[in-house]
Amino acid sequence: MAKKKQKVIVFRGDRLKLLRDEKKLAQDDLAAAIFGTADPNKQKYISRWETGAYNPDLVDIRHLARFFGVTTDYLLGESDDPHGRSPSTGGDVVGPNIDNFNPN
């Protein structure tokens, strides 16, 4: 019996950069919002995610989706619609709540 090939899901850093630029946020501002701290070392994570050097973990992807009011499917390239449902996975829509965002 043939082994089923697993689909590889890759975080779309280009979409994170686009969303951040649309909100006119610096990387350190986004890092402070996502990580809940103004630690300048956290900005490196945002930079590495945007360039594709590293992928965020699932918890951080969820925080990013909530922060920007987009689906996790959009950030993972599973859907081209940032606010809709993915026909393939039925991805959840998360409403924007930037002013009251709490990563915990």
**Model confidence pLDDT, tens digit, residues 52-79:** 999 999 999 999 999 999 999 999 988 8
First-last CA distance in the chain: 45
Task: Please write the tens of the pLDDT for every residue from 9-61.
Answer: 789 999 999 999 999 999 999 999 999 887 878 889 999 999 999 999 999 99
Judged against a pLDDT cut of 70, whether residue 92 lies above it is answered with no
Q: C-alpha 1: how far from its chain's center?
A: 37
Beta-carbon-side half-sphere exposure of residue 33 (alpha carbons within 13 Å): 20
Contact 49, 13 (CB under 8 A): yes
* More confident position, 92 or 5: 5
Whether 42 contacts 35, CB under 8 Å = yes
Domains of the chain, start order:
11-104 (1.10.260.40)
